[in-house]
Amino acid sequence: MIETVVRKRIEILTDSALLKTVTDAIDRADITGWTVMPVTSGKGRDGLWREERVTGTDKVVVLTIAPHEKAMILAEDIAPILTSHRLLLTMWDVEVIRGERF
């Protein structure tokens, strides 16, 4: 039987202009990797929105997986800009194979 370990899956929705800020925070938390996925539209409390490359407000989701302790370090680091920069950070437990890689 394949053995799994529990890690935190973290997704951060941000404007692409803040991508380096987010990935730098991931690096500071000593998390080994991340993936960036484009987002074209959505809806939130403020209503519908669409990607807008002309004004530079296109959004991305940054995905990473980390042990609980490193996930908390990342969350603490990002927390001060969540509201001011309108980021959305979600995390939940996932089971991964090859847990030593995360």
Q: What is the pLDDT of residue 67?
A: 97
The domain made up of 16-97 has a fold known as Alpha-Beta Plaits (3.30.70)
Q: What is the pLDDT of residue 57?
A: 61
Q: In what order do the strands lie in the sheet with 35-39?
A: 35-39, 59-66, 5-15, 88-96
Residues lower than pLDDT 50 in the chain: none
List of residues 6+ apart from 62 with CB closer than 8 A: 11, 12, 14, 19, 22, 23, 26, 34, 35, 36, 37
| Residue recorded with tokens 């927390």 | 79
Tell me 85's DSSP state: T
Q: What is the CA radius of gyration of the chain?
A: 15
Is the model's pTM score more than 0.75? Answer: yes
Q: Domain residue spans in the chain?
A: 16-97
Q: What is the pLDDT of residue 101?
A: 77
Q: What is the pLDDT of residue 77?
A: 97
